[in-house]
Amino acid sequence: MRVNFKIWRQESHQEEGSFKDYSVDNITSDMSLLEALDYLNETLVLKDEKVVAFDYDCREGICGQCGIFVNGRAHGPHDNTTTCQVHMRSFEDGQTIVLEPWRARAFPIVKDLIVDRSALDRIIQKNGYITVKTGGAGEANSILVAKKDADKAMDAAACIGCGACIATCKNSSASLFTAAKINHLDHLPQGKLETNERVMAMVSQMELENFGSCSFTGACEIECPQSISITEIARMNNLFLKAKLTKE
Partner 1 sequence: MLINRKYIMAITGLFLCIFLIVHLSANFLLLLPNNLAKEAYNTYSHLLRNNPLISAVSILLYLAIIFHSVMALIITLDNKKAKPQKYFMNYAQQNSSWNSRNMGLLGLMILIFIIVHMANFWAKVKLGYGPELPIDSKGQIDIYSVVVTTLKNPFITLFYTILSIPLAMHLHHGVQSAAKTLGLYHKRYLKYVALIATFYSCVMGLGFGLIPLYIYFFSQG
Q: Which residues bind partner 1 (CB under 8 A)?
A: 6, 8, 19, 69, 71-73, 79, 98, 100, 103-106, 168-173, 203-204, 206-207, 210-219, 222-223, 229-235, 237-242
- For partner 1, the closer of residues 6 and 59 by Cβ is 6
Q: How many CA atoms does the CB half-sphere of 220 hold within 13 Å?
A: 30
Q: Please, what sign has the CA dihedral across residues 37, 38, 43, 46?
A: positive
Q: Please give the Cα distance from 112 to 117 (Å, whole number).
A: 14
**Which of 55, 100 has the CB closer to partner 1?**
100
Nearest distance in Å: CB 136, partner 1 = 36
- CB 90 within 8 Å of CB 83: no
Between strands 69-70 and 96-100, the pairing is antiparallel
H or E element that contains 185: helix 175-186
CB contact at 8 A, 133 and 105: no
17 vs 43 by CB, closer to partner 1: 17
Between 28 and 216, name the residue whose CB sits nearer to partner 1: 216
Minimal distance in Å, beta carbon 170 to partner 1? Answer: 6
Pick from 207, 218, 216: which is nearest to 178 by CA?
A: 207
Tell the smallest beta-carbon distance from residue 243 to partner 1 (Å): 10
Q: Which is nearer to partner 1, 66 or 203 (CB)?
A: 203
Minimum gap (Å) between residue 173 Cβ and partner 1: 7
C-alpha dist (Å) from residue 108 to 21, 27, 117, 227:
23, 31, 8, 25
Whether 54 and 150 have beta carbons less than 8 Å apart is answered as no
Nearest approach, Cβ of 101 to partner 1 (angstroms)? Answer: 9
Closer by beta carbon to partner 1, 14 or else 141: 14
Smallest gap from Cβ 83 to partner 1, in A, equals: 15
Task: Report the DSSP beta bridge partners of residue 16.
Answer: none
Pick from 158, 179, 166: which is nearest to 236 by CA?
179
**Residue with smaller CB distance to partner 1, 43 or 217:** 217
Least CB distance from residue 237 to partner 1, whole Å?
5
